[in-house]
Chains A and B, each alone.
Chain A
Amino acid sequence: MVNGLNLAFQYLQGFSVLVLAAVGLAIIFGIMGVINLAHGEFIMVGAYATVFGYHDLGLPLVASMALAVGVTAAFGMVVERLLIKRTYGRLFDSMVVTLGLSLVLSQGMLVLRGTSEPSVPTPFGTISYGAFSQSVYRVALALAAVAVLVGVYWLFTRTEYGIRARATIQDEGTARALGVRTERVYSTTFAIGSALAGLAGALLAPIVSVTPTMGGTYLVKSFVVVVVGGPSVVLGTGLSGGLLGAVDAVVTNVYGQTAGSIVLLVVTVVVIRFFQDGVTGFTDRVRDRLAREGT
């Protein structure tokens, strides 16, 4: 029973890390069709900004996290203007450019700040049961992940920007002809995606070691979630985060961290072998079939 609780906490953390890391990437990929290979480094920038705000500027933790979100959003805007904009419609080229950017960012951060950062305290304290104690922050993280998903859902269904963005995905030419400034949609989207990466970095800063090379791990996690999740941003990220979080928690608990990431990869390859559009591609098909049978 006690081990079951441990596993539950492990699961909550696995789920929240996957969802938080992936959602920014999912938005940018879903709307712009751009694969940002520097996504992990954007998360790294968010984590660094949090540490910087907390230790160097002496801000409270929440303010440091807000600073991190602001910094990565602004950074994303600059990157979009200078690099991404020039490679629209050239998917492979945008991947090469963003991989180059990721090298520059991780190595640049190493030059600027050295190999490791002072740690940020984990808020909320711990709860104990039996011989174990767990950080309450893990629960808070899972709530934050769910809140982010709800927020993204609201953003894309209830706001002016969301409607324009969905029009742009559906038919860019028509959206333009109807007066949607798709370029602005793209740059806003990229900024939002970057801000979410920054938020992920900020929220994870208290529980992981902040290093210049931390991006690679999160890049893997977020790609796995996006690929398994399929076309629908909110449902896909939530479902595949839930599924892969469970796999990750069990395997990591039993066999350790490395086995966890290998099994994630294997699960992903198997999933795309059988469900080419990921989990939501499958749920869409089921829904269509049910709808046909209903009428």
Chain B
Amino acid sequence: MGTDAFPTGVLGRFEGPNTVGSGTRFWAALAVTVVALLAYPSVVGPFAAGQLTRYLVSAFLALSLAFVWGYAGILSFGQNAFYGLSGYAFAVVVGNLASPLGTTVGVGVAILFGALSALVLGYFMFYGGVRDVYVTITTLVVTIVLNTYGKTASQVFVGSVNLGGDTGVGIGEITLGAGPATYTLVQPATYYVIVAVLLATYLGLRALVNSDFGRVMVAIREDEDRAEMLGYDVKFRKLVVFTIGGGIAGLGGVTYMAWGYSITPEVVFSAAAAAYPVVWVSVGGRKTLSGPIVAAVAIEWLRTTASVQFPEFAKIGVGVLMIASILLLPDGVVPGLRGASRYFDRHGLADGSRLAIDRARRAVGRRVGGPIAVDESSEVVQE
């Protein structure tokens, strides 16, 4: 990151070594993107805006996983579970307190419920000394068990709301406010609200990961034991990170309900649903925040388009994308592009391409039939 400008001024709070993009060019690009997003519904009409709303909802999940996995090294297959739990919680609160005030309270309750679920699960995992891969497994198992439970819970009532089994829960129109001052959220207003909340979440996370807290997160990701030796309470920090991640996923769950008014176990708790955020984040680049957002929107758009054309093959496509992104672009597309642009800046286009091809040829040769090192240390020397 040596070439990044030293962060200064008000915007400096949002810049630092832990995020991609800084300086006037980046902020100008972000402003253009936001303006384009705000203009989108008037250009393409409400239907397309509704579609984009759903892709933007996915971006919350992507951000939550990027934060937890990319910055603190906790690979969780449970983010969509928190997302789903919040969605259900919102439906339950709204169904029981059928009033604008109830709905407004429901937003807060649902987000807190996502964070609280993450807190409880995280407490048992981190304070139980559950280590890296076991965390991943536990989160996946929790998701799958929630799926099994959700699908059979067809006659389970929470207050007056039936959880509905396979068919899930639905809610009516979302009317916020209290007393006489109420507002009914419909498209395209929902779209604008979600864009605004997403932008705020993104900027908030940028500030957080570039703060001292974020630096400690990265330290934990890079070497947990060393961070602990330096005096940081790693368990506590991980729990805080995981809880915040659950809260962001919960926020996503509420926006999902605001978009679609209904939720089913298949959509939020299935193994495929658990896999999607991991795909977005690993394709977009897990050590960035903008990459996962872009990847979530792009991949969800692709997947939805593909599942209209070839309904059976869309899931296979996601699986293949998952495998290919890890094998070919382990750091993701956004860091890959940045690396490429720096590389060509340094070497020029013609020389750079020749060097890159040579290097790729050597790398492939080594992988297929090259010499095999005796142990890890000599591999380090080779590089």
Contact = CB atoms under 8 A, between A and B. Distances in A.
Interface of A: 35, 37, 83, 86-87, 89-93, 95-97, 99-104, 107-108, 110-111, 172-173, 176-177, 183, 216-217, 219-220, 223-224, 227, 257-258, 261-262, 265, 268-269, 272-274, 276
For the complex of A and B, list the 5 residue pairs with the smallest distance between their C-beta atoms, beginning with the closest. Answer: A100-B322, A103-B319, A173-B375, A104-B319, A273-B128
Interface string B62-94: 000000010000010100000000000000000
A103 B271 contact: yes
Given A97-B326, A102-B319, A258-B148, A91 B132 contact: yes
Given A35-B136, A96-B278, A269-B124, A103 B318 contact: yes
Contacts of A183: 372
A90 B137 CA distance: 16
A216 to B, nearest CB: 5
Nearest to A90: B330
Contacts of B316: 103-104, 107-108, 111
Contacts of B137: 35, 223, 227
Contacts of A272: 128-130, 134, 138
B140 A37 contact: yes
B322 A99 contact: yes
Nearest to B275: A99
Nearest to A224: B141
Contacts, number: 129
Contacts of A35: 133, 136-137
Given A107-B316, A173-B375, A91 B323 contact: no
A276 B128 contact: yes
5 contacts: A91-B132, A92-B75, A96-B75, A100-B318, A262-B148
Q: How large is the interface on B (under 10, 10 to 19, 20 to 34, 35 or more residues)?
A: 35 or more
A86 B368 CA distance: 11
Nearest to B281: A96
Contacts of B148: 217, 258, 261-262
B283 to A, nearest CB: 10
A236 to B, nearest CB: 14
A219 B138 CA distance: 12
B27 interface: no
A173, A220, A262 — which one has the most chain B CB atoms within 10 A of its CB? Answer: A220
Nearest to A110: B312
A172 B372 CA distance: 14
A276 B124 CA distance: 11
B312 A111 contact: yes
A90 B376 CA distance: 13
A100 B321 contact: yes
A37 B327 CA distance: 16
Contacts of B132: 91-92
A261 B374 contact: no
Nearest to B128: A273
B217 interface: no
B130 A93 contact: no
Contacts of B313: 107, 111
Interface in B223-273: 271-272
Contact of A104 (B320, B330, B367, B375): B320
A262 B149 contact: yes
Interface string B281-317: 0100000000000000000000000000000110110
B141 to A, nearest CB: 5
Contacts of A261: 145, 148
A87 B327 CA distance: 8
B137 to A, nearest CB: 5
A97 B312 contact: no
Interface string B139-158: 01110110111001000000
B321 A258 contact: no
A25 B89 CA distance: 35
Contacts of A97: 322-323, 326-327
Contacts of A224: 141
